[in-house]
Amino acid sequence: MKFLNQKDGFLGYDANTKIKSKVVVVPFGLERTVSYGGGTKNAPKEIIKASHQVELFDEELNKETFRYIGIKTLKPFKIKRQIKSAMSQIADINKQIISKKLFPLVLGGEHSITSGSIRPFVKKFKSLYILHFDAHADLREQYDGEKYSHATALRRCLDFKNVKVISFGIRNLSEEEMNFYNKNKKRVKIFWGNKKNKWKISEIRKIFKNKNVYITFDVDGFDSSLMPATGTPEPGGMFWDDVMPILKNVCSVSNVVGADINELAPIKNFNSCNFLTAKLAYKIISYVFEFKSKYLNR
């Protein structure tokens, strides 16, 4: 694996800062099955660029969290053209990363990549819980004739029998998806977007306690007023203060093993969404490593 100079990588902190890295950021701007707005292929580059403007000090955790984590960023590379080959490619990359006992944070790209990203974790753990933020359930069997579509991302994850999905913010799905959900409630739980004022942190903690967890975050889970830079923006979504308590509490009670962030479609000369996504990425890994040692040593 070849890495960017740290000044060019995620957060852009000084390369002379001697920190043993625990995180590998993987730019994987796959764009093969988008069905409305395009541009996800440009997302990793813009997220990394925006991350150079993110303050390194976290006022909530009261420290520059990167100093306790260490972050390396893979050099951009050519993504396989065929969708199934691309799934195998990201699976192989994550396999290499976790073999070195490092944490992969994949910056997509379209959401289809998740079923590839999780493959090495599915093999490693007897049970894997997916913490899923999204406007859409992504539970179709196929979409426009493609099984490995952004609209089938979580259905393909459920092809693995040891995977369960817990989704937050869902507010747009097909009848097919609703029927699948109703028949598979032992493996899929949805916290509906229109009931977010009734979500209970105590219930969320109970679900994830002592589980191995992979986080997948489709940025259209955010409300469209906050995140217009995505292929399928949806009203009625989550805001920053809805998301942070969930991430923090899940990280505090579980073993989070990897993550991806998807579906940013950057808008030229409109940087707020790129920045929001970069800060989200930093916050996820900050929470993961704030609690990881405490969780493992309990």
Convert the pLDDT of each residue in 195-224 to its tens digit. 999 999 999 999 999 999 999 999 999 999
Q: Is residue 166 domain-resident?
A: yes
Q: Give the whole-number percent of the chain exceeding pLDDT 90.
A: 87
The per-residue pLDDT for 18 is: 74
pLDDT of amino acid 65: 95
Which runs of E-coded beta strand occur in the chain? 23-28, 57-58, 63-64, 71-73, 103-108, 128-133, 163-170, 188-192, 212-218, 255-262
Residue-wise pLDDT for 92-142, tens only, equals 999 999 999 999 999 998 999 999 999 999 999 999 999 999 999 999 999
- Is 103 among the domain residues? yes
Whether 139 is in a domain gets the answer: yes
C-alpha pair distances (Å), 35 with each of 144, 160, 232, 234, 250? 9, 25, 9, 15, 32
Question: Binning pLDDT at 50, 70 and 90, where does residue 33 land?
Answer: low
Residue 5 counted as domain residue: no
Residue 16 forms part of a structural domain: no
Question: For residue range 251-284, what is the model confidence (pLDDT) as tens digits?
Answer: 999 999 999 999 999 999 999 999 999 999 999 9
- C-alpha to C-alpha distance for 219 and 170, rounded to whole angstroms: 12
pLDDT of 67 above 60: yes
Report CA 292 to chain centroid distance, whole Å.
Answer: 18
Does residue 138 sit within a domain?
Answer: yes
Ramachandran angles phi, psi of 88, nearest 5°: -65, -35
pLDDT digits (tens, 9 = 90+) for 153-181: 999 999 999 999 999 999 999 999 999 99
Residue 4 in any domain: the answer is no
Q: Is residue 9 part of a domain?
A: no
Which CATH number fits the domain that encloses residue 198?
Answer: 3.40.800.10
- Please compute the mean of the pLDDT values over residues 28-42 and round it to a whole number: 76
Domain that holds residue 103: 23-296
Task: State the greatest distance between any 2 C-alpha atoms of the chain, in Å, as a whole number.
Answer: 54
Beta strands 23-28 and 57-58, pairing class:
unpaired
**How many domains in the chain?**
1
